[in-house]
Amino acid sequence: EAAVTQSPRSKVAVTGGKVTLSCHQTNNHDYMYWYRQDTGHGLRLIHYSYVADSTEKGDIPDGYKASRPSQENFSLILELASLSQTAVYFCASSDWGSAETLYFGSGTRLTVL
C-alpha cells in the first residue's frame, strides 16, 4: 500500500513566523506535490518536484518555498507566515507523473494567528 506521511498533523503559527511542513513517502515515486485546500477553492497546487534537489512552481507558489532533499522527502516552507495561509495542506506522490497513481497524505491543518 502506497504511503505518504505528513507532519505535523496540525500546527498553530504566528504571523511573520517561519513554518515548515514535512512530507515523507515510501512509494519510491519520483514526483511529489504540495497542495493547499481552502473552503470554496478545492485543491490548488503550490509546488512540485520530479527529482531530488529540484523543485518547480505550481499554480500558487507566492509566499511558499519547497525543498526536496531526497526522493522520499519533500518540505513546504513558509518563511513569513500570513493569515491568508491558514489552510489544510496536502502532500502527494506520483509514479512517473501518472494521473492514476497520485497518492495523498492525510493533510496538515495550519492555522496562522
Partner 1 sequence: LAKTTQPPSMEAYEGQEVNVSCSHTNIATSEYIYWYRQVPHQGPQFIIQGYKDYVVNEVASLFISADRKLSTLSLPWVSLRDAAVYYCIVTDMNYAQGLTFGLGTRVSVFP
Per CB under 8 A, contacts with partner 1 among 7-46 are: 31, 33, 35, 40-45
Beta bridge partners of 48: 33, 56
**Residue 62 interacts with partner 1 (CB under 8 A): yes or no:** no
- For residues 52 and 32, the answer to whether their CB atoms sit within 8 Å is no
CB 51 within 8 A of CB 66: no
- Candidate list 76, 78, 81, 92; residue touching partner 1; CB under 8 A: 92
Please report how close the Cβ of residue 17 comes to partner 1 at its closest, in angstroms: 25
Binding flag, residue 97, partner 1 (CB under 8 A):
yes
The reply to whether 105 sits near partner 1 by the rule CB under 8 A is: yes
Q: Which CA distances in Å does 108 have to 33, 51, 76, 79?
A: 14, 23, 11, 17
